[in-house]
Structure 1
């Protein structure tokens, strides 16, 4: 049987899908992944076919795709491109699993509907799913009237806002492929039975009668890569460093040189060596002192167990990887669900959230004092023992059971 996994987003959206893909393959399924062309090398490296979807995500995020500035135009094209990619990959298949950019997921859902195969929406954070237990995060540019304060009222407003942003383009595309319009695009895309690929300790889901959520745990792809020899030598040459990296994120409000200077000075102020992950933030050395080292894409699962703390953007995957390694964390959230994870790390006592998206030497140094405190390290070690490692396997089995039930019912 063939399962198609669709996502349009950064590395944090694609990486969990690779974990699920490998578990599905191990259970005998044929898997194809529809994702941005940036990740061809990643998918090729694990033996999973990539169906390129849309523009390169980094080019779109940095404004390097000419003429792609209007949300309406981008949304309409993404919906259509996702539909075409998924419809082609899933023809004759068994199921579609989708996450990432909302209009792209809408296209994936339409493809599954047109083909008559099961569809599963997946969230990597509880904060994205409607619930009376928490409020939604406003979308950029969304005006929330001050009198709207209750969680349910805020989620109703969220549904209205998504209809206003995407309803016309989604329904125009549906009409073009012979499908009827939908009234509430958010609930259509999310469904009432989504998967939640987040760890139950790090990101617990509180039951609500509106949604039948299957919380599987985070989808983690085991990384067997050894650390580069020069990085291993740096780690062995002194005390545990503090790792600072922002993954597939640009740091808002500052240029790379200023951010690099701020984070290096903050770590040095705590008497620690510095390990920079260059990433999209383009972190780099500011001098030739031997207490600082720069790395690119390396095995975080191996690395995070050998550092004193991890400073990062607060993506779901990085948060889970650091928590599994028992590394204290400082989260510098930029967008989306990252403030949620900063709050959870703070609540659990395994680190702290930075106040605002742009770190200074003083603000980050203050946050590092909390993360590097002995009690934070002790708490991080305790929580590490509770973080699940089998989320992708659980999800794969749930999905295959769902396919079997759908086949029996048919």
Structure 2
């Protein structure tokens, strides 16, 4: 197959697609990845052909966009802001994608833009989506995030309640997206979004663990396939490893990383967290998009820059983070407990999953600077958290999301490896 991938957003939206692209190449297929120039070197370093789509933002512009989303507070308002920002670049993006689809056998996008299906249909190319969080997968067990579960209802009534709210939520999301894009849909030659949750594409790869995350969910439509995680890790950096080894001295140390999340009060809240951190305890702080440098003069705090999750997590006893899908997956794979201080979008959902699994705790989005030092100590010292984290790691080690995803895409298109 000759495959075009596209995804838009922060690192957690890009790296799973890089992982999928590498797996497709390993399976004998040709792959191009259309994304923003900010991730150009990551894509090229992974051995994937890069295709530029807007916006041509640098790191500071992406960070400011993240702050704008955080100000919106509610997930629905954040979704509205995502599409408001995207509308400025949508027509150019569609033109580039349509040109790139010439001669392609498959078009795979991320779940945020199901209306890209219209581009694939114009070119008579099969279209699939990748979903990075199963909180948008309709089922008969759990309603959408903001809806009370009412599990005390008799089973038939509970099922009706859950299904009704999935239908309502899908309609509300459709209306929100279409309202933001109404001025550009015709110029971009895209159809209005319809069935965002219920029927976004004929094939949706749900890139989370079936063994850890799907358990207990019933009534999932056959178009939604839990593949396992699509994780991509950059190579270890030898200089960073030397620094980590020198600082940790063979001991595991708590890690704080907020990845690509930043917000107006991020630096002030980190200063408060550092002030509450025990002065005699070591801590690794990853700077991230917020460019944290609080604690740089503290002899027991090590500040590091960009590094792969897996490399840093080998030194971690527990992790405090924002609850991004990719970071949560990495910590689960590491087998260490975690504390999540959710900030935007699906991060509250992931925090609830971590609590459900017994592998960590959820801190308040605003109160985490006071809570997190105590929570990190708790998950690091209590055997139950350690045991459950190792049990989840064991399940994940038996799954192969990349292999499963490639097999599903090959079956969907009805094609094996490209003979050339």
TM bracket, shorter-chain basis: 0.7 to 0.9
- Secondary structure, aligned partner of 2:32: strand
1:291 aligns with 2:293: no
1:120 CA displacement: 0.7
Question: Equivalent of 1:231, from 216, 220, 243?
Answer: 243
Residue 242 of structure 1 corresponds to which residue in structure 2?
254
Instruction: Structure 1: give runs of 5+ residues left out of the alignment.
Output: 140-148
Aligned mates of 2:251, 2:271 — CA distance in 1:
21
Q: Structure 2 matches for 1:235-274, cutoff 5 A?
A: 235-237=247-249, 239-251=251-263, 254-256=265-267, 258-268=268-278, 272-274=281-283
- Secondary structure, aligned partner of 1:231: helix
1:57 CA displacement: 7.5
Residue 157 of structure 2 corresponds to which residue in structure 1?
none
Residue 214 of structure 1 corresponds to which residue in structure 2?
225
Whether the 8 Å contact between 1:311 and 1:330 is mirrored in structure 2 is yes
Q: Once superposed, what is the RMSD of the aligned Cα atoms? A: 3.1
- Secondary structure, aligned partner of 2:290: coil
1:121 CA displacement: 1.3
The 1:169–1:405 alpha-carbon spacing in structure 2 relative to 1, beyond 3 Å, is farther
The 1:73–1:305 alpha-carbon spacing in structure 2 relative to 1, beyond 3 Å, is closer
Q: Which runs of 4+ in 1 moved over 4 A?
A: 69-73, 168-179
- Secondary structure, aligned partner of 1:385: helix
Residue 197 of structure 1 corresponds to which residue in structure 2?
207
- Secondary structure, aligned partner of 1:190: coil
The 1:57–1:216 alpha-carbon spacing in structure 2 relative to 1, beyond 3 Å, is farther
Residue 111 of structure 1 corresponds to which residue in structure 2?
119
Residue 327 of structure 1 corresponds to which residue in structure 2?
336
- Secondary structure, aligned partner of 1:387: helix
Whether the 8 Å contact between 1:244 and 1:263 is mirrored in structure 2 is no
Q: Structure 2 matches for 1:341-380, cutoff 5 A?
A: 341-357=350-366, 359-360=368-369, 362-375=370-383, 376-380=385-389
The 1:98–1:153 alpha-carbon spacing in structure 2 relative to 1, beyond 3 Å, is same
Aligned mates of 2:247, 2:92 — CA distance in 1:
45
1:124 aligns with 2:140: no
Number of aligned pairs?
Answer: 388
Residue 62 of structure 1 corresponds to which residue in structure 2?
64
The 1:281–1:138 alpha-carbon spacing in structure 2 relative to 1, beyond 3 Å, is farther
Whether the 8 Å contact between 1:93 and 1:117 is mirrored in structure 2 is yes
The 1:384–1:78 alpha-carbon spacing in structure 2 relative to 1, beyond 3 Å, is same
The 1:306–1:317 alpha-carbon spacing in structure 2 relative to 1, beyond 3 Å, is same
1:134 aligns with 2:142: yes
1:97 CA displacement: 1.0
1:85 CA displacement: 2.7
CA shift digits 1:181-218 (9 cap, x unpaired) = 55725258722531100012342262325453211000
Residue 164 of structure 2 corresponds to which residue in structure 1?
153
The 1:251–1:368 alpha-carbon spacing in structure 2 relative to 1, beyond 3 Å, is farther
1:349 CA displacement: 1.3
The 1:209–1:135 alpha-carbon spacing in structure 2 relative to 1, beyond 3 Å, is closer
Whether the 8 Å contact between 1:216 and 1:394 is mirrored in structure 2 is yes
Whether the 8 Å contact between 2:131 and 2:205 is mirrored in structure 1 is yes
CA shift digits 1:226-252 (9 cap, x unpaired) = 442442333443632111010000146
Aligned mates of 1:302, 1:109 — CA distance in 2:
37
Question: Equivalent of 1:383, from 383, 387, 392?
Answer: 392
1:138 CA displacement: 5.6
The 1:61–1:223 alpha-carbon spacing in structure 2 relative to 1, beyond 3 Å, is closer
Residue 311 of structure 1 corresponds to which residue in structure 2?
320
Whether the 8 Å contact between 1:82 and 1:108 is mirrored in structure 2 is no
